[in-house]
Structures are given as C-alpha cells and as structure tokens.
Amino acid sequence: MPAVIDSTAIAHDLARRVDVKTALTPNDTQRTTLIIAGVYVIVIGLLWHIPFLSWIIYPFKLLTVGFHEMSHAFAGVLTCAKIHSIELDPDEGGATRMSGGLSFITLPAGYTGSCFIGACLIACGFDTSASKVACLVLAAFFLFTLWWARRNWLTWALIAGMTGLIVLFWFVAGGIALRYLVLFIGVMNCMYALWDIVDDTIARKVNTSDAAVFAKQFGCCPAQVWGVIWLLISFVYFGLGILVGIAAFKDTNAEQKAASEHFLPVPTF
C-alpha cells in the first residue's frame, strides 16, 4: 500500500522551521548589540592582562565573585541549608559558610550559577525594559547578600558602588544606557566564570576548589572531569543567553526608547 503524504503536517513543519529561523535571525539593532558584546569580550580580555589597567575591571571581577558566592547561598536555601555568612576578600576570593543542604547541588552552584546569572543579564541586555527588570531582580539579590554578608565591609562597599552605578546609568538617556551596562556585567560575569572553572579545576588543580571538594565527597570522577562538565554547562548557559536575547527582544532602539518612557520612566539628561 503506498504511503500517504500528509501535506498539512509537512506545511506546519516547514512553518515551524521558518518561525524558528526568523526568531533566531538578528535584526539590525540586535546585530549592533552582538558587535558591542564582542567588543566587550576583547576589551575585557585586554584589560585582564594589562597590570596597570586591570584595576578598571576589578570591581566587576569582585561582583562576579559575589555572584558566585550568592549562587552557593541560594542553592543552599533551596536545599534547606542554613546560611551563616558570605565573605569577599580583596584578592578576588570568597567564601559562603552554611550548614545542611545538599552539597551535590550547592557545590557546583557557584560556577554554574554565576554563569547562569551572566547569561540572564546578557539576554536582558538586548532590551532596555528587560534590563530594568533585571536590575530590580539584582536589587533583591543584593539585599539578601547584604544580610548574609552584614559583617563583611568589602561586600557592602561593592554592592553600594554597583547600586550607584546602576542608578546612574538608569538616568542616562532615559534608561537606554542601562542595557549596555547590564550587557557588560553579563559578558564579564560569563567570561570570569568560564575562566575560573578552567583555571581552578582544569588547567591546575586547586585542592580547595569547589570541584576538588565535590570530587572528594562523591568520588565518582576527579576534579578535572567535574570541571569539564561544569564548563560545558556554563558554555550552554552562555549560548542560550545570546539566543534568548535574539529570540525574545526584537524591538528597535526607537521602539525600546518609547517603551522605556512608559516603563519605570526617569528624567532624561
């Protein structure tokens, strides 16, 4: 018996493919955003390796460390742990002290969680209104972090400085400048998280790294293997952040400006 070809099903399948292709094809505004993100990557990479200029991105490095520790803490809360404290130190290190919880979830949450936050910020960096929402969410995270880090002066100084920077950019050009700051923080966060995984767990073995502790507790694979797994997960988050930004936020700069004037508007300077 000859096979029956369902032309309607084929048409629907082709339509879905066209829709996906259209959704993931960047428009002119998005291409500009992608170019700016690429410039961010180059600039961050250069500043990272120039000693007398690296101080420019030092606060953003500390912010990424803060996101790392905050991710540990929130994973702990979700697995019923008690968070005792969060600490940052000037050498770009940090520690989250907790009791209880599921270490199978809380240990990898630092690396993968901070990259996930960065990916979300990259996605929101494609749209001004979405960037405003992202900053409100960050404000809530900052408040929780301040409570857990209430005895750590560096965390308070960092969050105060970043809050001031966000408020400043919120007021510039009616909030348009804010999305470029959010995009920068997202790119910086993902780059630092990816580099941290490679440096701590793959390129060299740090016995106190999250991957080393994870391997010691669960014994399934060496720390380097867990580092590779977490690196792949983080790369997926990075890529998804870009794809979601392209698919979800198609407004032009003019449309974004008009929408921003009605969503949490501010005076234009």
- pLDDT for position 153: 81
For residue 97, count CB atoms less than 10 angstroms from its CB and return exposed for 0-12, middle for 13-18, buried for 19 or more: middle
For residue range 202-261, what is the model confidence (pLDDT) as tens digits?
776 655 678 788 888 877 778 888 888 889 999 999 999 999 999 988 988 888 888 888
Predicted local distance difference test score (pLDDT) of residue 16: 54
pLDDT in tens, 113-150: 999 999 999 999 999 999 999 999 998 888 888 888 77
Answer whether residue 13 shows pLDDT above 60.
no
Contact residues for 49 (Cβ-Cβ < 8 A; gap 6+): none
Q: Which residue has better confidence, 200 or 42? A: 42
What is the number of alpha carbons within 13 Å of residue 74 lying toward its C-beta? 20
| Distance in angstroms (rounded) separating the CA atoms of residues 132 and 264 | 8
- What are the angstrom distances between the C-alpha of 34 and each of 25, 176, 178, 184, 246? 12, 16, 16, 11, 9
Give the mean model confidence (pLDDT) for residues 35-42.
95
15: pLDDT strictly greater than 70 = no
Q: In the predicted model, is pLDDT for residue 41 greater than 90?
A: yes
Q: Which residues pair with 99 in a beta bridge?
A: 82
Between the alpha carbon of residue 67 and those of residues 186, 205, 224, the distances in Å are: 11, 22, 23
Rounded to 5°, the CA angle 50-51-55 comes to: 100
**Percent over 90 (pLDDT), the chain:** 29
Cβ neighbors of 168 (< 8 A, separation 6 or more) are: none
Answer whether residue 174 shows pLDDT above 80.
Answer: no
The pLDDT of residue 35 is 96
How many other CB atoms are found less than 10 A from the CB of residue 197? 30
The full set of domain ranges for the chain reads 27-81+105-187+229-260
Orientation of helix 176-197 relative to helix 153-171, angle to 10°: 140
Predicted local confidence at residue 133, as pLDDT: 93
In the predicted model, is pLDDT for residue 77 greater than 70?
A: yes
Among 83-92, 133-142, 176-185, the minimum mean pLDDT is found in 83-92
Question: Residue 183's closest CA among 28, 22, 35, 23?
Answer: 35
Report the SS3 class of residue 237: helix
Q: Based on C-alpha coordinates, what's the Rg of the chain?
A: 21
pLDDT of residue 175: 78
C-alpha distances (whole Å) from 264 to each of 7, 70, 141, 267 are: 48, 27, 20, 10
74's tokens: 């929130």
249 secondary structure, DSSP code = -
Q: Which amino acid is located at 165 in the chain?
A: L
- Residues near 18 by beta carbon (within 8 Å), at least 6 away in sequence: none
Beta strand segments in 13-127, E: 82-89, 93-99
Q: Please indicate, yes or no, whether the overall pTM of this predicted structure exceeds 0.85.
A: yes
H or E segment at 31?
Answer: helix 28-48
